């Protein structure tokens, strides 16, 4: 009887110890840093042929060259020895559809760098004081991800308009929400000042950008609408079945961005499938007119 009790107690103790070790092991696994869900691996990015104007091409090629890992390490070491900031912050600005976000993807693919994608409007909170915390968390997550990676990833702030605007000057009637917005921007400025990785921010507007942010972007690339030649190349790439004379006419007649031409190519493909026939010239022209209805060419240019 006593022996049975002892064996039962021993077995219970062994089970308890095993459960303890399993719990501890699971806890240690959960404590390990995990890759963020919004991390896009470079090898999964689909190659796309991009068309730029001459100045954009030169600047983007330079950026791709310096972000090649061997060059990037040399540049960072040199900056570090001279006591300069090692981080690379780049601003891609210009009208919608000019290839800003896609260029960031293609740069990541060419330099074999993953992308940590941040949608700025998506991290803004309705709760007071949460925005600044969210910004800090973004940079903290990026840093831990970079430490786990052989090659530093790119931190991509998409649609950064919502957070790089001019800070509000306070008066006696200042609102708490304005103070909260300024506090968030100050946190972002400080994080960028201490940043040692690679940041690319995209924006459609620069008229209202705070000067403090402009200074923190080492490279500023203006994505202009494509020239006639570039538009012709885009038409030929996206709709290769169109006659040469027609693509030349469309390129000269409609001042469209690459994104707008892509929209037209998709719409006409849908229309052709629905109609079960050949694309009509009237349908193509109407799609072009629809894309130009709400276009705006008002931009303020900032320095490179």
- pLDDT grade, residue 132 (50/70/90)? confident
pLDDT digits (tens, 9 = 90+) for 44-79: 999 999 989 888 999 999 999 999 999 999 999 999
Class of domain 39-223: alpha beta
The CATH 3.40.50.300 portion of the chain extends over 39-223
- How, if at all, do strands 115-119 and 39-40 pair? antiparallel
Whether the pLDDT of residue 31 is over 70: the answer is no
Q: Is the pLDDT of residue 302 over 50?
A: no
- For residue 39, what pLDDT is reported? 93
Confidence band for 248, pLDDT divided at 50, 70 and 90: very high
Q: Which residue has the higher pLDDT, 127 or 62?
A: 62
* Least trusted range by pLDDT, from 54-68, 126-140, 167-181, 196-210: 167-181
Segment 269-285 shows an average pLDDT of 85
User: Exposed, middle or buried: residue 78 (CB in 10 Å: 0-12, 13-18, 19+)?
Assistant: exposed
**pLDDT band for position 170 (cuts 50, 70, 90):** low
pLDDT at 276 (0 to 100): 78
Please report how many Cα atoms fall inside a 13 Å half-sphere around the Cα of residue 163, on the Cβ side. Answer: 26
What does the alpha-carbon distance between residue 109 and residue 121 come to, in Å, rounded to a whole number? 25
Q: Ramachandran region of residue 36, left (φ > 0), alpha (ψ -120 to 50) or beta?
A: beta
pLDDT tops 80 at residue 138: yes
* Per-residue pLDDT tens digits for 140-161: 999 999 999 999 999 999 888 8
The pair of structure tokens assigned to 68 is 């090649």
**Res. 123: pLDDT tops 80:** no
pLDDT for 6 equals 45
For residues 15 and 297, what is the distance between their CA atoms, to the nearest angstrom? 72
pLDDT of residue 5: 43
Least confident interval from 124-133, 177-186, 239-248: 124-133
CATH number for domain 228-292, candidates 1.10.8, 1.10.3470, 1.20.1740, 1.10.3710: 1.10.8
Of residues 206 and 75, the one with the higher pLDDT is 75
Laid out side by side, the sheet with 88-94 consists of 39-40, 115-119, 154-158, 198-203, 88-94, 219-223
Cβ contacts of residue 40 below 8 Å, gap of 6+?
105, 108, 114, 115, 116, 117
Is pLDDT above 90 for 221? Answer: yes
Residue with structure tokens 């006593």? 2
What pTM was estimated for this model as a whole?
Answer: 0.78
Within the chain, all domains assigned CATH 1.10.8 are found at: 228-292
Per-residue pLDDT, averaged over 149-175, amounts to 77
**Strands 88-94 and 115-119, sheet pairing:** unpaired
Structure confidence at residue 298 as a pLDDT band (50, 70, 90): very low
| pLDDT cut 70: percent of the chain above it | 79
> Does 176 score more than 70 pLDDT?
no
Grade residue 181 by pLDDT with cuts at 50, 70 and 90. Answer: confident
């Amino acid at each position: 009887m006593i022996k049975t009790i002892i064996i039962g107690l021993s077995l219970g103790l062994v089970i308890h110890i095993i459960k303890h070790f399993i719990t501890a092991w699971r806890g240690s696994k959960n404590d390990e840093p995990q890759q963020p869900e919004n991390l896009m691996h470079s090898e999964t990015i689909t190659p796309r042929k991009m068309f730029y104007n001459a100045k954009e091409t030169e600047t983007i090629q330079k950026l791709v060259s310096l972000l090649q890992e061997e060059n990037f390490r040399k540049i960072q070491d040199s900056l570090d020895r001279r006591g300069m900031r090692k981080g690379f912050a780049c601003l891609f600005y210009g009208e919608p559809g000019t290839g800003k976000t896609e260029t960031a993807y293609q740069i990541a693919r060419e330099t074999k760098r993953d992308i940590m994608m941040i949608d700025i409007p998506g991290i803004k909170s309705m709760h007071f004081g949460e925005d600044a915390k969210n910004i800090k968390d973004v940079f903290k997550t990026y840093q831990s991800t970079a430490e786990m990676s052989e090659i530093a990833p790119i931190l991509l702030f998409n649609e950064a308009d919502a957070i790089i605007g001019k800070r509000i000057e306070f008066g006696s009637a200042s609102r708490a929400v304005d103070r909260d917005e300024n506090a968030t921007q100050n946190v972002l400025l400080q994080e960028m000042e201490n940043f040692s990785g690679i940041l690319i921010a995209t924006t459609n507007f620069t008229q209202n950008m705070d000067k403090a942010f402009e200074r923190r972007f080492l490279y500023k690339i203006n994505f202009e609408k494509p020239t006639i030649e570039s538009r012709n190349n885009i038409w030929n790439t996206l709709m290769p079945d169109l006659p040469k004379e027609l693509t030349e006419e469309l390129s000269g007649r409609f001042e469209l961005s690459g994104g707008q031409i892509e929209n037209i190519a998709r719409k006409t493909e849908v229309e052709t499938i629905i109609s079960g026939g050949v694309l009509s010239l009237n349908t193509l022209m109407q799609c072009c007119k629809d894309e130009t209805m709400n276009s705006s060419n008002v931009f303020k240019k900032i320095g490179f």
